[in-house]
Amino acid sequence: MKFKFDFTGKRVLVTGSTMGIGYGVAEAFHDLGATVAINGRSADGVKKTIEKFGGGKRLIAAHGDMASSRERIAAVERALDAMGGLDILVNNAGRGDDALIDQITEEYWEKMMDLNLKGVFFTTQACLPALKHSKGNVINVASVAGVMGLPPGTSVYAATKAGVVQMTRMLALNLTKEGVRVNALCPGWIDTPMIRKDNEKIGNNGLINYINESVPMGRIGTVDECTGAVLYLAAPFTSYTTGAVLVTDGGLSAGH
């Protein structure tokens, strides 16, 4: 077996791929020969992302809010119908809205669960027939918050991501005889538009300074570093890896 990243002919759906980690992952799979379904909440956002990638037959528009049952099903159908099946599913769509314990409402709780937890499970469920047919694999993007405690305001977010981690293990156990691999990526602090927006809200580069001080490697991570981890989990030469939780956090969780 050749130890190289080559996804020529593979069909990939990356949810939440119009920005951040999802954008980087979708771009990398496309660059490495795959046909990639781009997903985002708006058709316009998906269209713009496809244009940034240069267009072409190997880019599929699959817009839809993965927190909505109706839109999620429609997005998956668009992707699978256009690609004729699926080899790799990357469940990346998620949200990280902060709220302190006394500020948490049922509406907020449900909003977080609908995308971060239900969205991951039911997207996988909708893709399973195609994945079983191709003996494909699933990569769930969780978070370091799913394996360790983080600052106040992340209680619900952490609960959803811990759920994704355990869901990954259970799906792996249940689907291994079907030939479907399921693994999770747990990023730490990664330089994405969401983090930059939060940093601006705090002011004085407060969040970035906190990250640089708290992460053992002394810096924030990059989208490329997460993308490399996803490609590794999806590669044919990791065919013996399922139920794994790969942490990319600069050492943040090592002492926890």
Q: Determine which one of 157, 210, 232, 240 is catalytic.
A: 157
| Residue 157 annotated as catalytic | yes
The residue among 19, 165, 15, 18 whose CA lies nearest residue 88 is 15
Q: Return all residues near 182 (Cβ < 8 A) that are at least 6 apart.
A: 124, 137, 138, 140, 168, 171, 172, 175, 242, 243
Angstrom distance (rounded) from CA 77 to CA 136: 17
Catalytic positions are 157
